[in-house]
Amino acid sequence: MTRIHISEVGPRDGLQSIGRVAPLEAKKAWIAAEAAAGVPEIEVGSFVPPSLLPQMADTAELVAFARQIEGLAVAVLVPNLKGAERAIAAGAQKMSLPFSMSETHSLKNVRKDHAAMIAEIGAIADLVAARPEAARPHFEVGLATAFGCTIEGPVDEDKVVRLAAAAIEAGAAEVGLSDTTGYANPTQVKRLVRRVKAEIGADRLNTLHLHNTRGLGLANALAGLEEGITTLDASLGGLGGCPFAPGASGNIVTEDLVFMLEAMGYETGIDLEKLMQVRAIIAGALPGEPLYGFVPDAGLPLGFAQVAA
């Protein structure tokens, strides 16, 4: 039986796209409830300047809170070296740096071109390496807009492969492929996963970050699984998008993803009934905010038997 690792990104990718700021206590309740449902990893926030994203101003407090939850891997997004320094000081166990394959998007998102981003990856890798081995966070580079960009349009796959190799050479532990704009299709996912793995090694690409903007999120996830992907990002209720990629709404819904995997016989370790109950926390904290998901609306089918959580 294959185990698929689910990384919940809603408290970061979901909430950063919402104008309102969710209360700190509601975020804590969300994180605790998902962990209790068996979600193994949660991206609790990002270390960006509060002036840019006030929704993420309490990330250090959330890291400290989440670190107290036994068995939970605590992940954060960092946009640069300064963010990585703050993440390490807070005690984050995993850091993900967004590296846009579209240089135009990179300049809008983190205000750096590709050469500057490679240098930043190297600086963060050196920072991690300087820590005692037991205290080093896992450093992943997310290859954003890998499947297309709302600003530039198509992104050359040769460039994605080349920059993936450059990120590993600069010191990243692994890379992930991100469909930031919801442009990907299953054939494209399979082809690009295969090409990047061939270039950097199968063990250096394990993660897909997918959006359901055009309804292909789960199909793309399945395509990734068929190419050996073992970690999938998702957001409870389908919250999320990129503030610097217009129209790039909708992460894949965690509840729908877990249902698909469990129905297919994959193991996630997540109790689906408990997971769906977490939606009430978000609905209470952000009344009127749309929440998506077919399974929560339709319910579990009669006779559905989940792999033991």
| Catalytic positions | 242
What Rg value do the Cα atoms of the chain yield, rounded?
A: 18
Enumerate the β-bridge partners of residue 166.
Answer: none
Our measurement of the distance from residue 11's CA atom to the centroid of its chain's CA atoms, rounded to an integer in Å, reads 10
Give the three-class secondary structure for 144.
strand
CA dist 267 and 269 (Å) reads 6
CA dist 35 and 45 (Å) reads 15
CA dist 91 and 87 (Å) reads 6
Secondary-structure breakdown of the chain: helix, strand, coil percentages, each rounded to the nearest 5: 45, 15, 35
